[in-house]
Amino acid sequence: MTRIDFVLDASTVDVLKQRLADVGEQVVAAIAVEVAEYTDQMTGSFGTGVDSAVQLALGGFLRLAAHAETSDASTPLTPVLDAAYALGRGEAKSGRTMSGLLSAYRVGARVSWREWSTTCVELEMDAGTLARFAELVFSYIDALSAASVTGHSDQLAVTGRVREHYREQLAQAVVDGEPHDRLVLLAERAEWEPPRDLTAVIVRASDSRTLQSRIGPRALALPSDSIGASGDVELSALLIPGSDRRALLAAVGPTAAWVGPTRPWTDAGASLGRARRMLQRDGVARRPSDTDDHLLELVLSADENALRDLRERALLPLADLRPDTAARLMETLRSWLLHQGRREAVAADLVVHPQTVRYRMTQLRELFGDALTRPESVLELTVALGIPHGSPALSST
């Protein structure tokens, strides 16, 4: 608060103190009428609280007015500033902005100045002293307002940090698969209304805030150390509410991301698990990767050692052939299985003459025998050859 180099004489302060209760009543009445945020709340404990706060503020001002000349105002103001700080925190805890409280301060300053200045004029206070008195009034209100704003901001910061901690705790519990009752309790504590579905999205840590701003505040962020890093790239994970996958992917946009399947909110751990498998399979990419577009690859690469063993056993008849011959026959067999033995379709797929397909299939029948007609063998061959070209499992054969 700005120091005001003047002091009211003791007799004037005594007269103003005699009017303290009356001025306080008028301030409270004006606040009830003029401050819309408080109009319907001026009864019961809230109204009592406002009345006490007004009396404290007015009394603090008169103490300040009696000492302003010899002090920087910190000592007589300390209890009042503490109370103003607490008022600001209370507004934040109640979910209100500072608009109402600041309006109440302005109304209080106007009404108290009107009443006290009238008294001062009646006491024949000179114009210069009256002007400095006015300056002290509004400097005092500025100090109270600043203390309340600080209290409000501090409470919002604390509330935000606490809520963020609770939501991280909730997100971790969801992906850990904790019991439903426990998840509901954590959601209530975090002030988070559970949606029907969640989708896990892994992104670079540097992109996490940007994606959250696009998605909205209801996305849950996992603790920063829960995903770790892929190479030198730090990663984060979000659990995003909603079942509109198209909208989610549009929000992800070109961001490098690994998007799990949409699952009931209590089963979001399965969504995160699949996103992680896609990340492990692809490595850090520069574009979004939707796991729903890669289900076959994910299934076939779930156990690469088992897939290699299956491929080795199913394709054993080709093991002794020259690599280029084996590759042509594998390509033909794969197309033949996919096109259900339709020679013309296989030829079009491979861009060869149908007679070439017939010749190669004759070789394959000689090598595989009745394995090409037994359902279980055909299934093994389909799986063995179904892995996309260029994958680790195929290139290792």
Q: Round to whole Å and give the CA distance between 59 and 62.
A: 5
pLDDT at 306: 83
pLDDT > 90: percent of the chain: 41
Residue 331 token pair: 């390509």
CA proximity to 220, closest of 248, 192, 254: 192
Residue 31 maps to a domain:
yes
Residue 370 maps to a domain:
yes
- Please indicate, yes or no, whether residues 231 and 154 belong to a single structural domain of this protein: no
- Please indicate, yes or no, whether residues 151 and 270 belong to a single structural domain of this protein: no
- Please indicate, yes or no, whether residues 228 and 292 belong to a single structural domain of this protein: yes
- Please indicate, yes or no, whether residues 207 and 116 belong to a single structural domain of this protein: no
Q: Provide the pLDDT confidence category of residue 255 given band limits of 50, 70 and 90.
A: confident
Residue 186 maps to a domain:
no
- Please indicate, yes or no, whether residues 385 and 330 belong to a single structural domain of this protein: yes
Is the model's pLDDT at 1 over the cut of 60? no
- Please indicate, yes or no, whether residues 290 and 314 belong to a single structural domain of this protein: no
CA proximity to 80, closest of 67, 70, 69, 92: 67
Residue 4 maps to a domain:
no
Residue 368 maps to a domain:
yes
Residue 172 maps to a domain:
no
The pTM score is 0.56
Residue 347 maps to a domain:
yes
- Please indicate, yes or no, whether residues 321 and 233 belong to a single structural domain of this protein: no
Q: 65-87: per-residue pLDDT in tens? A: 887 544 444 455 788 889 999 99
Dihedral sign (CA 28, 34, 37, 39): positive
User: Which residues are within 8 A (CB) of 126 and not within 5 positions of it... i.e. 6 or more apart?
Assistant: none
Section 276-297 average pLDDT: 79
- Please indicate, yes or no, whether residues 117 and 68 belong to a single structural domain of this protein: yes
Specify whether the CB–CB gap between 271 and 200 falls below 8 A.
yes
- Please indicate, yes or no, whether residues 277 and 313 belong to a single structural domain of this protein: no
Specify whether the CB–CB gap between 136 and 120 falls below 8 A.
no
pLDDT > 70: percent of the chain: 91
CATH of the domain at 144: 1.10.490
CATH of the domain at 321: 1.10.10.2840
Specify whether the CB–CB gap between 31 and 102 falls below 8 A.
no
Radius of gyration of the chain from its Cα atoms, rounded to whole angstroms: 38
CATH of the domain at 218: 3.30.70.120
Domain boundary among 104, 135, 159: 159
Domain boundary among 300, 325, 354: 300
- Please indicate, yes or no, whether residues 295 and 310 belong to a single structural domain of this protein: no
Residue 350 maps to a domain:
yes
Specify whether the CB–CB gap between 28 and 166 falls below 8 A.
no
- Please indicate, yes or no, whether residues 114 and 212 belong to a single structural domain of this protein: no
358: containing domain = 304-395
Domain count, the chain: 3
233 CB neighbour count, 10 Å cutoff: 12
Domain boundary among 108, 140, 159: 159
Provide the residue count of the chain. 397
- Please indicate, yes or no, whether residues 281 and 315 belong to a single structural domain of this protein: no
The residue among 356 and 213 whose pLDDT is bigger is 356
